Amino acid sequence: MSFWVAVLVALGVGLLGVLYLTGFFRRRRASEPPLDKGLVPWLGHALHFRNDNMDFLKTMQKKHGDIFTTLIAGHYFTFLMDPLSFSAVVRESRNKLDFISFAAELVLRVFRFEASHETHKIIDVSSTKHLKGEGLVVMTQAMMEALQTVLFRWQETSQKDPKSWKEDGLFHFCYNTVFKAGYLALYGTEPSEKQNEKLKQKDQQHTEEVFVEFRKYDKLFPRLSYALLTPLEWGQVKKIWNYFWQVLSVKNVYQKDNISRWISDQSQQLAESGISEDMRDRFMFLLLWAAQGNTGPASFWLLEFLMKHPKAMEEVKKEIEEVVKKSGQDVASRQKPLNVTKEMLSQTPILDSAVQETLRLVAVPMLIRLVLQDMDLKLHNGKSYQLRKGDKISLFPYLSAHMDPEIHQEPQAFKYDRFLSQNGNKKEFFKNGEKVNYFTMPWGAGTSMCPGRYFATNEIKLFTFLMLACFDLELINQQEEIPAINKTRYGFGVMHPVNDVQFRYRCRC
């Protein structure tokens, strides 16, 4: 009898322990944000959150206001929805709100890479050196040359009848082209001593193969991040990892010509910090993912929006034509394709505004920080809330700023000139009569802000510039609506469309 009592007591204690660990007993303290644990222990609101971040947050905001804490798969997330208060999170010191600890967990899951403050610093230092200032000029030129290769030398239209129409899915075309060019610019080309026609074809075949594998991973990525893969999908992910760790291995990449300093410097610095070669191979894939997963989709949306808004297309084209004319170049020469320089890119305010507007509509990051110590968070309205050590605090600027009708009138509409400065003054945005500093945040903010943002912008602009200056473009079905965005990717950068749209293009040169 006493044996069974002991078993029951042990089970009871075990159950209490599990309930305690899953936060069953957690109650809101007086000075804390409203707490919403949902109905299912541990899981909380995980399903609603995963299926549609935006809808989940709208529902919660309606119920609780501008700050609330929710349980999501065993983690407590506090969401701050008021954009006027964002600086309280973005500018808080790193010993209170930490980006790396949370990011490292995710990076380990999705790349099997052990990230640390040191690796973050290496990315930061190298990006400042090679993706800004003089380094950006070099990278922009490398991207330009790579785009010329992909668009003018590799396209089938360039072979038999260069001026014939060619049809493709616009999303596929943009992603494929920008990916391949970005890959060549960052990871280099076949060694020059072997540069003959066959090896040029090898670059072409190789980049296509890498793109296909990348897209497989891309599709699995959201479910991989949420640890929701089926055993079959797990098998696929492992295969893709092995493929990239081999193709992008330090040994392989160093065989190439024209490898960017951004890549080679980071690899070298990791080696100098004593990080193993295996880990460095994995880091290469992480960089590929960060650098290549967003610019192609963003380029797609920009072209799609322009094609669906004739006035915007006309204005952007006019601006581009003037810049080309001023540069004294001729777009009609295949032998010497248009060379767009960083200097030329600085003369396109209308295109800049259209890019910013595109990112407002389709760039959906989620900023997450781990709370390292119990602390107070002071909001813009003067109220203070206590945050608990071990919880996460999160911003979702897409809902709080990008889509706020008070900050951006008709937020669903593409207005190419929304960000165009007037009389040389930068456009300002307001909420409740107060100036909003974080009116769009496609690149994140603070310590986790995208270190590649200037290069990314130039990539998108170069591609669009070449497409509008040198090609005729038409949607196959002019009446077709702009596709909806795939909501399962909310929080993972630039959105994908739920379906592709067919278009045709023809080189004018």
The residues binding ligand HEM (CB under 6 A) are 103, 120, 123, 131, 287, 290-291, 294-295, 298, 363, 365, 367, 442-444, 448, 450-452, 455-456, 493-494
CB atoms within 10 A of CB 345: 18
Identify the three-state secondary structure at position 184: helix
Q: What is the length of the chain?
A: 509
- Provide the 8-state DSSP code for 480: P
CA distance 446 to 100: 12
Cβ nearer to ligand HEM, comparing 300 with 416: 300
Burial class from Cβ neighbours inside 10 Å (0-12, 13-18, 19+) for residue 287 reads: buried
Cβ nearer to ligand HEM, comparing 83 with 507: 83
Outline where 29-132 has alpha helix (H): 46-51, 53-64, 87-90, 100-111, 117-130
Cα 482 to chain center, whole Å? 21
How many CA atoms are closer than 13 Å to the CA of 265, on its beta-carbon side? 16
Instruction: Tell me the closest approach of the beta carbon of residue 81 to ligand HEM, in angstroms.
Output: 17
Instruction: Tell me the closest approach of the beta carbon of residue 266 to ligand HEM, in angstroms.
Output: 9
Cβ nearer to ligand HEM, comparing 104 with 466: 104
Instruction: Tell me the closest approach of the beta carbon of residue 260 to ligand HEM, in angstroms.
Output: 9
Cβ nearer to ligand HEM, comparing 187 with 245: 187
Instruction: Tell me the closest approach of the beta carbon of residue 392 to ligand HEM, in angstroms.
Output: 12
Instruction: Tell me the closest approach of the beta carbon of residue 241 to ligand HEM, in angstroms.
Output: 18
CA distance 253 to 257: 9
Phi, psi of 98 (to 5 degrees): -115, 130
Cβ nearer to ligand HEM, comparing 368 with 387: 368
Cβ nearer to ligand HEM, comparing 120 with 261: 120
Instruction: Tell me the closest approach of the beta carbon of residue 398 to ligand HEM, in angstroms.
Output: 11
Is residue 141 within 8 A of residue 342, CB to CB? The reply is yes
CB atoms within 10 A of CB 236: 16
Cβ nearer to ligand HEM, comparing 331 with 372: 372
- Nearest residue to 415 via CA among 383, 445, 440: 440
How many CA atoms are closer than 13 Å to the CA of 167, on its beta-carbon side? 6
The C-alpha angle 379, 396, 119, rounded to 5 degrees, equals: 100
The structure tokens listed for 356 are: 């910013």
Instruction: Tell me the closest approach of the beta carbon of residue 144 to ligand HEM, in angstroms.
Output: 15
Cβ nearer to ligand HEM, comparing 43 with 103: 103
- Nearest residue to 491 via CA among 408, 370, 399, 371: 399
Instruction: Tell me the closest approach of the beta carbon of residue 403 to ligand HEM, in angstroms.
Output: 16
DSSP string, 148-180: HIIIIISSGGGTS-TTS-EEEEHHHHHHHHHHH
Cβ nearer to ligand HEM, comparing 416 with 463: 463
CA distance 247 to 210: 9
Instruction: Tell me the closest approach of the beta carbon of residue 420 to ligand HEM, in angstroms.
Output: 20
Q: What distances in angstroms separate CA 269 from CA 283, 291, 398, one per listed residue? A: 12, 19, 35
CA distance 120 to 446: 13
Instruction: Tell me the closest approach of the beta carbon of residue 147 to ligand HEM, in angstroms.
Output: 14
Instruction: Tell me the closest approach of the beta carbon of residue 353 to ligand HEM, in angstroms.
Output: 16
Instruction: Tell me the closest approach of the beta carbon of residue 199 to ligand HEM, in angstroms.
Output: 26
| Residue pointed to by tokens 């040359």 | 145
Cβ nearer to ligand HEM, comparing 142 with 407: 142
- What is the side-by-side order of every strand in the sheet holding 166-169? 166-169, 502-507, 471-475
Cβ nearer to ligand HEM, comparing 123 with 501: 123
Burial class from Cβ neighbours inside 10 Å (0-12, 13-18, 19+) for residue 442 reads: buried
CA distance 114 to 462: 34
Instruction: Tell me the closest approach of the beta carbon of residue 132 to ligand HEM, in angstroms.
Output: 11
Residue showing the smallest CB distance to ligand HEM in the complex? 452
Cβ nearer to ligand HEM, comparing 298 with 306: 298
